[in-house]
Amino acid sequence: MLWLLVCAGADAKEKLTNDPTKIETKLGLGYQDDWSFSGSLAFDPVRKINLSVKADGNEWRGGGSWLFDIGIVNLNFGRTEFDNGNTQDSYSVGTFLPLSIFGFAPGGVQIFPMFGYAYSNGETICDTRPEDSECYGFISPEDGFLIYIPTENHSGYIGALALKPLSDEWTLLTVLNYTQGSDDFNSAFGALGAGYTLNKRHSMSLMAFSVDNTYGDKSGIGASYKYAF
């Protein structure tokens, strides 16, 4: 059980800015089709809470993290709104495991496998007009043709985040994630970008991402700035 001992001596300053196991207090500002605000509050070297919200309040995410000797455990909950109008509320528990603690960093690339469990519920828009639609005939034309169908599922996810330092300031970032769940739920997510660290306080990143989800699809380019205390 020694591996469950909290790594109280973890030194965040030795980690890259975008390291998912980094515990620090910070504030952030981002833009991807709308402004968003984020922040984290570190209680000590191993525990923090996280929060992010879009300016219109339609999307948000919160949770907490606990750092252990061989990785970090994250508890998250949040809401996502897709381009087709569908919404997804999710609750998850998962972990990142830095392979560098086992001496594995090929070509200087820091790899963080991730896995966990998630529960999701939400609403999907259904067109009642096609005869093969799951909601065909649910309502009359006088009431409109589109209705919201409540959904829920349990799922597991697996993936990895990779960081490749190019210099003291620049880092390449890549994320891949796949989720498979009950009721034919699945989700694939990918992102690629770069991070720039001006100094220990100020950092920026630019990421292109795409998600193909049972609830809907979403893609775009996002930029963010973070200030660490």
Burial class (CB in 10 A: 0-12, 13-18, 19+), 9: exposed
Give the mean model confidence (pLDDT) for residues 38-42: 97
Which residue ranges make up each domain of the chain?
Answer: 41-121+156-228
Which residues touch 53 (CB under 8 Å, ≥6 apart)? 36, 37, 38, 59, 60, 61
pLDDT at 188 over 90: yes
Query: Which of 51, 52, 42, 40 is CA-nearest to residue 10?
Result: 42
Q: What is the DSSP string of 139-171?
A: S-GGG-SEEEEEEEEEEEEEEEEEEEE-SSSEE
- Checking if the pLDDT of 186 tops 60, the result is yes
The mean per-residue pLDDT over the stretch 165-172 comes to: 96
d(CA 229, CA 226): 10
The percent of residues above 70 in pLDDT, for the chain, comes to 88
Average pLDDT on 111-139 reads: 80
Mean pLDDT of 98-115: 95
pLDDT in tens, 30-39: 998 899 999 9
Q: Is the pLDDT of residue 77 over 60?
A: yes
The CATH classification number of 41-121+156-228 equals 2.40.128.90
Is the model's pLDDT at 4 over the cut of 50? no
pLDDT score, position 135: 66
Cβ neighbors of 155 (< 8 A, separation 6 or more) are 117, 118, 119, 120, 179, 180, 181, 182, 185, 187
Mean pLDDT (the chain) is 88
